[in-house]
Amino acid sequence: VSLSASYFGYSLYNEILVGLAFSKNFSDKFSFGLQFNYLSSYSFASGRYFGSFVPQLGLNLKLTPDLYVGFSTFNPFQSYYSTELSRANVPSVFSLGGAYYFIPELVFRVQMDKEISSTYKLSGGFEYEMLKVLTLKLGAYRTDYLVPCLGVKTQMKRFDFHLNTELHPLLGLTTMASVQYRIKK
């Protein structure tokens, strides 16, 4: 069970996504997850929040001890929300990915995303656990541009801290941070 929240934007326009997720291992080889999200957006022009409930589903298969394949979808039923002036479509994203563990400390991840009304996004990268409390991440993704990414994860007891950055040719340097808390190890 997990609870997540994210915020994107600034005072004139922002989006908030809150999700409650449930996942279950059905065997050593197969797991399934379901997340219920509430997505809302605020626009200074309207002075109000508008939102919609959006489901998210995921499957993970362990093909070998070192190779995993997963599929997820965000908003598979093409939910939308209506504002005072228009109807805003929430993106429907379908993802297929994989992970290969060269050794337990070094993993290569690859993922392809397809949003219904746009082109494919291909991403890949390496994660290397240098110490039990420090992981380095290096990767890139490609849509219209090749965007390099760099990150670090550190662990302290039940907390994980992630700091990631990417260098987009149009948006410049973008930094993202997250904190995770595990109730049970």
Q: What is the pLDDT of residues 145-178, one digit of tens each?
A: 899 999 999 998 889 999 999 999 988 999 998 8
Spatial neighbors of 46 by CB under 8 A, at least 6 apart, are 83, 84, 85
What whole-number percentage of the chain has pLDDT above 70? Answer: 98
DSSP per-residue codes, 52-114:
EEEEEEEEEEESSSSEEEEEEEESTT--EEE-SS-EEEPP-EEEEEEEEEEETTEEEEEEEEE
CA-based torsion, 119, 172, 98, 126: positive or negative = positive
| pLDDT score for 87 | 76
| pLDDT score for 101 | 97
Who has greater pLDDT, 9 or 99?
Answer: 99
Total-model pTM: 0.83
Let me know: does 99 contact 86? Beta carbons within 8 Å.
Answer: no
Tokens of 101: 């563990």
Question: Which residue has 């997720």 as its token pair?
Answer: 21
Q: What is the pLDDT of residues 69-116, one digit of tens each?
A: 999 999 998 888 777 667 778 889 999 999 999 999 999 999 999 998
| pLDDT score for 62 | 96
Tokens of 170: 């149009």
For all residues of the chain together, what is the average pLDDT? 91
Question: Terminal CA-to-CA distance of the chain, rounded, Å?
Answer: 13
